[in-house]
């Protein structure tokens, strides 16, 4: 850990200068308590750095939570081992691609499962309790429950160091969460129109105001949506695995965690609003998930409860190249080489997701050694992504 300023602590051994400057701007906001914790996977974000943990008193910066509210991971360990799987992995990839709408803006055609209806009923009730109608943000929010999206979101069949098969996926609150975030970011900018800010995307909402209360209610709803969205997709992936192997799938272990969210926590003697933008809760004994990139290892971890990190840990590898820069530097052949031995959809659309566009996950995990203990290392067998 390195103390970069009195209010900025960093665990990132790989840190670009523009990322550092951005984090320093966030850390100088007057309501930070006690400091911003910069995770090993830190990289440039909108307003606040991706891979930062931001504790605030009496205010929340919506852009510091991020536009994919509640984005995170879910993993299920099954009773199967690699030796028991069929050799041809293409059918399971194609089955998942049929069962889960993948791309940006994608939606289900209908609501066809009881478990989907049950989750939607819960979300409708929570929205009514929160006093808003999600349809005003996204008309198809109900049909997007159980959809992946694109970018760095993925679904994988993986195996740990003992050969146990895990199902692993990454997604968030889809279109409705994005629009809730964008709406309140705009309100925060208007509220701070006369305030001098180091970055306009550090605009904030003040606790005790109607705008603050509305954001918290809707943000918490979107976080629940994201959690249930991952559960819904996992149900479908479990079903596809069962079809592929020709048997029932037992969920031996299941972990579901956010890495873009805000919640009330107690740190350094104060109750704060803790925004984790690209970070997971790593309180002592808490299970968590840290993915690499497509083609590299992911980790099942348990938190060590480090107080200086605000009981947090990285959420993944973190980008080293922007999408535009990655497309200029790497080719489809480079991606094929990186994905050797892994079943995936071979398309130029994923060039900007090549593992080399991300930080070395092994270095990220080495930097996080004081934050988490590694329980399992997962290696991909099958990768599914949206364009």
- Residues annotated as catalytic (active site), given as ranges: 315
Contact yes or no for 300/326 (Cβ under 8 A): no
* Residue 149 CB contacts under 8 Å (≥ 6 apart), including other chains: 102, 103, 104, 106, 171, 172, 174, 386
Q: How many residues are there in the chain?
A: 387
Contact yes or no for 125/93 (Cβ under 8 A): no
Comparing CA positions, the residue from 299, 238, 254, 249 lying closest to residue 84 is: 249
Kindly list the distances between the CA atom of residue 133 and the CA atoms of 63, 126, 127, in Å, as whole numbers in the listed order: 22, 10, 6
Comparing CA positions, the residue from 335, 294, 20 lying closest to residue 158 is: 294
Phi, psi of 313 (to 5 degrees): -150, 165
**And the tokens for 232?**
């819904």
Phi, psi of 305 (to 5 degrees): 75, 30
Kindly list the distances between the CA atom of residue 374 and the CA atoms of 154, 194, 246, 362, 370, in Å, as whole numbers in the listed order: 21, 47, 32, 12, 11
Interior angle at CA 357, CA 355 and CA 358, nearest 5 = 75
**And the tokens for 280?**
């997971």
Helical pair 90-99 and 210-245, crossing angle rounded to 10 deg = 140
């Amino acid at each position: 850990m390195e103390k970069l300023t009195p209010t900025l602590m960093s665990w990132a051994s790989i840190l670009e200068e523009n990322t550092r400057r951005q984090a320093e701007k966030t850390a100088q906001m007057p309501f930070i308590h006690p400091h911003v914790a910069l995770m090993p996977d830190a990289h440039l974000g909108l307003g606040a750095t991706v891979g930062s943990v931001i504790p605030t008193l009496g205010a929340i910066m919506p852009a510091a939570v991020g536009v994919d509210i509640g984005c995170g991971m879910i993993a299920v360990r099954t009773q199967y081992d690699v030796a028991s799987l069929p050799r041809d992995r293409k059918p399971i990839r194609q089955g998942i691609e049929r069962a889960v709408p993948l791309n940006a803006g994608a939606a289900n055609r209908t609501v066809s499962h009881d478990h989907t209806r049950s989750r939607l009923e819960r979300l409708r009730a929570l929205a009514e309790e929160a006093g808003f109608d999600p349809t005003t943000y996204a008309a198809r929010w109900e049909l997007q429950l159980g959809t992946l999206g694109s970018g760095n979101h993925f679904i994988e069949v993986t195996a740990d160091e003992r050969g146990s098969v895990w199902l692993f996926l990454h997604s968030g609150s889809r279109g409705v969460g994005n629009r809730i975030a964008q709406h309140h970011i705009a309100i925060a900018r208007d509220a701070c129109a006369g305030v001098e800010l180091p970055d306009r995307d550090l605009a904030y909402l003040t606790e005790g105001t109607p705008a603050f209360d509305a954001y918290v209610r809707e943000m918490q709803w979107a976080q629940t949506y994201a959690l249930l969205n991952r559960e819904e997709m996992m149900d479908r992936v479990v079903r596809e695995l069962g079809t592929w192997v020709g048997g029932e799938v037992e969920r031996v272990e299941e972990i579901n965690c956010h890495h873009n969210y805000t919640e009330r926590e107690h740190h350094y003697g104060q109750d704060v609003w803790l925004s984790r933008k690209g970070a997971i809760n790593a309180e002592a004994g808490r299970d968590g998930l840290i993915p690499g990139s497509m083609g590299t290892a992911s980790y099942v971890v348990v938190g060590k409860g480090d107080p200086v990190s605000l009981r947090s840990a990285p959420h993944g590898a973190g980008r080293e190249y922007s999408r535009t820069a990655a497309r200029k530097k790497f080719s489809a052949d480079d991606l094929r080489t990186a994905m050797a031995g892994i079943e995936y959809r071979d398309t130029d659309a994923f060039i900007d997701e090549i593992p080399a566009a991300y930080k070395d996950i092994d270095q990220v995990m080495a930097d996080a050694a004081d934050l988490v203990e590694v329980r399992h290392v997962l290696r991909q067998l099958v990768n599914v992504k949206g364009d």
